[in-house]
Amino acid sequence: MATEDPHLKVWRVHPYGCPIAPAERTLRNTANRDAARWCGPYAHANTAGWWVFSPVDIDITWHGGSEFDWELHTPYSNADGRLIRFLLNESDTASPSMWLSDPEGGRTKFTWGQVEPGVAQIWTGCIFETPPGWALHLRSPINCGNPAIRIMDAMLETDWLQYDIWLNIAFHNVGERVELRREGWPPLAQLVPIPKRSYESKWNLSEELLNRESPEANRVFEYYVEYNEKKFARGGKQPRGSESTLMKDSTTYYRERRRSRGVR
Residue type, 146: N
Phi first, then psi, for residue 201 (nearest 5°) are -75, 150
In a domain, 16, yes or no: yes
Q: What is the pLDDT of residue 186?
A: 97
Q: What is the pLDDT of residue 243?
A: 55
Residue type, 200: E
CA pair distance 237, 220, nearest whole angstrom: 22
In a domain, 209, yes or no: no
CA pair distance 40, 55, nearest whole angstrom: 32
In a shared domain, residues 69 and 39: yes
CA pair distance 123, 164, nearest whole angstrom: 8
In a domain, 4, yes or no: no
Q: What is the CATH number of the domain that holds 139?
A: 2.70.40.10
In a domain, 206, yes or no: no
Q: pTM to 2 decimals?
A: 0.86
Q: What is the pLDDT of residue 175?
A: 98
* Number of domains within the chain: 2
> What pLDDT, in 10s, does the model give residues 19-64?
999 999 999 999 999 999 889 999 999 999 999 999 999 999 999 9
Q: What is the span of the domain harbouring residue 102?
A: 9-200
In a shared domain, residues 175 and 256: no
Q: What is the pLDDT of residue 263?
A: 64
Phi first, then psi, for residue 254 (nearest 5°) are -70, -30
Show which of 177, 200, 223 is a domain's final residue.
Answer: 200
Residues of the chain with pLDDT under 70: 1-4, 96-106, 233-252, 263-264
In a domain, 256, yes or no: yes
In a shared domain, residues 60 and 162: yes
CB 240 within 8 A of CB 246: yes
CA pair distance 58, 177, nearest whole angstrom: 10
In a shared domain, residues 99 and 65: yes
